[in-house]
C-alpha cells in the first residue's frame, strides 16, 4: 500500500498542475485592447443612416453591405447598394465591404461559373468604392453555408484570393462549423474571420426566447481560440419579431424592419431582443479575459434613429466606451377626475429593458373597488389595501426604450394616495 501511494504522488502532482493551468487559462489577463466595430446593413441610405455613419467615430471600423448575390437555376442574380458617399468620406475609421451570398448558392456546388460570378462582383465592388470614396480595407463574405458544403466553400475562398490578391478577404463563420474538420481548412485560408454568435433562439422546449445565449457565446469563443486563426465576434444590437402559424411553425421573421402599422396584438408570435445590460457585462469580461486570438467585436448593426428594431445610439456608445449602464423604473399613480388612478411606468435606464414582472400598489383602506391591467399586465392577487399586477406571456413583450412612459393598469380605490413600486 505504501509503495503504491508513493508511486501515485507524481500523478497527483501532474493532475494538480493541469487543473491549476486550466484555471490560470480561464483567468488569463488580456493585455491588448478589445475594440468595437459595426455593420451598416441598410440597403437604402436615408438621411438618418447618413447621420449615424457620420457620428460613428467611436467605432474602429464600419462594414457596409455592398451587394447581394443569389442563384436561380445556376444563374446569378445580383443587387448592389449605393451609400451616401459624402457621409462615408466623413467617417475616419477603417471601411470594409460585405458581400452577402444567398443560401441558394449551395446548389451550385461552387462550380467554376458560380465562383467566377462572385469574383467578378467582388472586383467590381472594390473598384467602384475605390473610385467614389477610398479603397476598402477588406471584403467580408457573409454566407450561411450548410455544414456539409464547407469543403465547397473553401474552393470559393481559394478562387477569391487568387482573383483579388491585394485585399484581405474574410468570411463569417457560425459556431456549429467549428466542430467540423472542414472548418479549419476553410478558415485557415483567411487572415481572420467573423464568428457570429447571435441567432434565433426560439421558445421551444422551455428555452428562453432570445438572440444570444451568453454561455454558448463564451463556449464558441473558447473553441474558436483553439483554431489558431485570428477572429472577431459579431454581437447583436437588434430585435426580431417572429410569427408562427397554427402548427407553431415559423411563418414570418422581421429582423430589419416592421411593416407600417404593424401590431403584434392577437398574432401568434414572440419578440426576441438583444439584452444590452447582459452584453455590456460580457464585454467587460472579454476586455479583461478574452483570448489573444479574439481581435475585436463587430456589432450587428449600427443604430440608426429611424430603426425600430435596434438599440438607441447612446446605448451602444456607452458599451463601446466601457461605461456602466444605469438600470431602473419609476412608477406612480396618476389619479383622474373619475376617481380612477392610472398606474404609470417610466423607463429610467440607459438601454432598452424588460418590463418589470410585478407592480405592487398599496393604500390605506379596504379592497379595491375595481382594477385592470394593460399592456400585458393583469391583476394577479389582492387584499385589503394592496394589489399586485403581474406580466403575462413575457416573450411577447419587447424591451422598452429609455424615457418611454405608459399606463400599465388602473385602480379604483377609496383612498387619497396610492403608493406604487415595481419588482423585476
Question: What domains sit in the chain, N to C, each tagged with a CATH number?
Answer: 29-320 (3.20.20.80), 329-423 (2.60.40)
pLDDT surpassing 60 at residue 91: yes
* pLDDT at residue number 207: 64
The Cα–Cα gap between 81 and 309 comes to 21
Mean pLDDT across 5-15: 39
- Percent of the chain past pLDDT 70, that is, above it, reads 92
CB–CB of 343/407 below 8 Å?
Answer: yes
Q: Which of 5-19, 26-40, 317-331 has the highest mean pLDDT?
A: 317-331
The contacts found for 385-393 with CB under 8 angstroms, 24 or more apart, are 385/415, 386/360, 386/361, 386/362, 387/360, 387/361, 387/411, 388/358, 388/359, 388/360, 388/361, 389/343, 389/358, 389/359, 389/361, 390/357, 390/358, 390/359, 391/355, 391/356, 391/357, 391/358
> pLDDT tens, 400-414?
999 999 999 999 999
* pLDDT at residue number 200: 87
Residues 6 or more apart from 170 whose CB is under 8 A from it?
A: 138, 139, 140, 141, 190, 191, 192, 193, 194
pLDDT surpassing 50 at residue 8: no
> pLDDT tens, 37-60?
999 999 999 999 999 999 999 999
Q: Record the cell numbers describing residue 303, joined without a space.
A: 443604430
Mean pLDDT across 162-187: 95
Mean pLDDT across 85-110: 96
Confidence class for position 96, pLDDT limits 50, 70, 90: very high
* pLDDT at residue number 17: 43
Q: Record the cell numbers describing residue 129, joined without a space.
A: 468604392
pLDDT surpassing 60 at residue 95: yes
- Percent of the chain past pLDDT 90, that is, above it, reads 81
Average per-residue pLDDT for the chain: 91
Q: Record the cell numbers describing residue 209, joined without a space.
A: 426566447
pTM: 0.89
* pLDDT at residue number 344: 98
CA distances from 43 to 67, 81, 170, 252, 377 (A): 9, 6, 21, 20, 38
pLDDT surpassing 80 at residue 25: no
Confidence class for position 268, pLDDT limits 50, 70, 90: confident
Confidence class for position 206, pLDDT limits 50, 70, 90: low
* pLDDT at residue number 260: 83
pLDDT surpassing 90 at residue 28: no
Neighbours of 418 (CB within 10 A): 20
Mean pLDDT across 177-194: 94
Amino acid at each position: 500500500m505504501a509503495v503504491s501511494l508513493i508511486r501515485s504522488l507524481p500523478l497527483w502532482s501532474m493532475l494538480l498542475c493541469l487543473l491549476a493551468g486550466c484555471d490560470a487559462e480561464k483567468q488569463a489577463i488580456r493585455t491588448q485592447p478589445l475594440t468595437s466595430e459595426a455593420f451598416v446593413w441598410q440597403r437604402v441610405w436615408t438621411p438618418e443612416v447618413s447621420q449615424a455613419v457620420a457620428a460613428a467615430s467611436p467605432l474602429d471600423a464600419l462594414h457596409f453591405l455592398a451587394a447581394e448575390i443569389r442563384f436561380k437555376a445556376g444563374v446569378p442574380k445580383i443587387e448592389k447598394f449605393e451609400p451616401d458617399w459624402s457621409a462615408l468620406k466623413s467617417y475616419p475609421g477603417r471601411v470594409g465591404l460585405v458581400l452577402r451570398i444567398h443560401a441558394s448558392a449551395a446548389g451550385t456546388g461552387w462550380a467554376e461559373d458560380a465562383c467566377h460570378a462572385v469574383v467578378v462582383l467582388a472586383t467590381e465592388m472594390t473598384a467602384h468604392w475605390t473610385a467614389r470614396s477610398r479603397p476598402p480595407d477588406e471584403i467580408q463574405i457573409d454566407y450561411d453555408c450548410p455544414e456539409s458544403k464547407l469543403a465547397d466553400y473553401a474552393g470559393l475562398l481559394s478562387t477569391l484570393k487568387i482573383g483579388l490578391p491585394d485585399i484581405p478577404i474574410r468570411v463569417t463563420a457560425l459556431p456549429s462549423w467549428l466542430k467540423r474538420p472542414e472548418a479549419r481548412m476553410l478558415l485557415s485560408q483567411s487572415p481572420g474571420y467573423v464568428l457570429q454568435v447571435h441567432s434565433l433562439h426560439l421558445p421551444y422546449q422551455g428555452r428562453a426566447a432570445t438572440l444570444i445565449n451568453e454561455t454558448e457565446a463564451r463556449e464558441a469563443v473558447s473553441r474558436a481560440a483553439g483554431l489558431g486563426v485570428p477572429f472577431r465576434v459579431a454581437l447583436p444590437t437588434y430585435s426580431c419579431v417572429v410569427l408562427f402559424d397554427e402548427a407553431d411553425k415559423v411563418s414570418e421573421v422581421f429582423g430589419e424592419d416592421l411593416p407600417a402599422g404593424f401590431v403584434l396584438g392577437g398574432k401568434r408570435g414572440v419578440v426576441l431582443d438583444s439584452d444590452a445590460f447582459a452584453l455590456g457585462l460580457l464585454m467587460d469580461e472579454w476586455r479583461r479575459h478574452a483570448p489573444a486570438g479574439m481581435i475585436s467585436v463587430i456589432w450587428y448593426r449600427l443604430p440608426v434613429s429611424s430603426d425600430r428594431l435596434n438599440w438607441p445610439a447612446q446605448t451602444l456608445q456607452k458599451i463601446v466606451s466601457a461605461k456602466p449602464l444605469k438600470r431602473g423604473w419609476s412608477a406612480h399613480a396618476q389619479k383622474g377626475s373619475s376617481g380612477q388612478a392610472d398606474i404609470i411606468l417610466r423607463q429610467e435606464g440607459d438601454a432598452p429593458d424588460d418590463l418589470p414582472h410585478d407592480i405592487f400598489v398599496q393604500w390605506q383602506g379596504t379592497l379595491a373597488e375595481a382594477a385592470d391591467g394593460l399592456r400585458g399586465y393583469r391583476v394577479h392577487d389582492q387584499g385589503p389595501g394592496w394589489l399586485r399586477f403581474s406580466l403575462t406571456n413575457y416573450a411577447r413583450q419587447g424591451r422598452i426604450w429609455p424615457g418611454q412612459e405608459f399606463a400599465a393598469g388602473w385602480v379604483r380605490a377609496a383612498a387619497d394616495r396610492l403608493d406604487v413600486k415595481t419588482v423585476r
